């Protein structure tokens, strides 16, 4: 699976708290399924619940949520485009200790192609966003610049 590592890299690069303390982010695949069909190819899809926990958040949660939404827009676009997925596929909770828990329902396609006597596995990813979307991003909260990153 590719998306958990990609998401970790994106958050470490865009959330100031995690840039200073990457150990505060833990990620666990809580439940997953493999969806395959009886098509000639062995290609399939992972569908899983990724649980993120950010310990001791000392900043407002928008410093995490906004970069996460930017990543989801590029890497799980149906989560924003589908009304049912918007209602259920991104959840969060916070506790008195300052921990922020986030649940994401993710999917990844895996292509399996046969060439001669070998099977080749590739991860096609999501369609590339238009070039105009590759602008640098800044996050301002209450009029204060808290983070900058590139997509």
Q: 141 pLDDT exceeds 90?
A: no
Q: 22 pLDDT exceeds 90?
A: yes
Coil, helix or strand for 80?
A: helix
If we measure between CA atoms, which residue out of 60, 63, 29 comes closest to residue 46?
29
Say if CB 8 and CB 29 are below 8 A apart. Answer: no
Model confidence pLDDT, tens digit, residues 61-110: 888 888 999 889 888 888 888 788 888 899 999 888 888 999 999 999 99
* Complete DSSP assignment for 48-81: EEEEEEE-S--S-THHHHHHHHHHHHHH-THHHH
**What sign results for the dihedral spanned by CA atoms 85, 74, 34, 112?**
positive
Q: So where are the chain's domains?
A: 3-149
Token pair of 148 as six digits: 């900058």
With bands split at pLDDT 50, 70 and 90, how would you rate the model's confidence at 130?
Answer: low
């Amino acid at each position: 699976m590719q998306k958990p590592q990609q998401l970790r890299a994106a958050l470490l690069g865009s959330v100031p708290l995690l840039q200073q303390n990457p150990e505060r982010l833990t990620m666990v695949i809580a439940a997953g399924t493999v969806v395959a069909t009886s098509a000639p190819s062995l290609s399939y899809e992972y569908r899983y619940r990724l649980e993120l926990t950010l310990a001791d958040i000392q900043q407002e949660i928008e410093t995490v949520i906004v970069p996460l939404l930017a990543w989801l827009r590029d890497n799980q676009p149906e989560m924003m485009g589908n009304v049912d997925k918007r209602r259920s596929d991104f959840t969060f909770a916070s506790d008195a200790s300052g921990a922020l828990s986030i649940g994401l329902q993710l999917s990844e396609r895996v292509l399996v192609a046969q060439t001669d006597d070998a099977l080749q596995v590739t991860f096609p990813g999501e369609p590339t966003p238009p070039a105009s979307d590759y602008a640098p991003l800044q996050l301002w909260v209450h009029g204060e610049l808290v983070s900058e990153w590139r997509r």
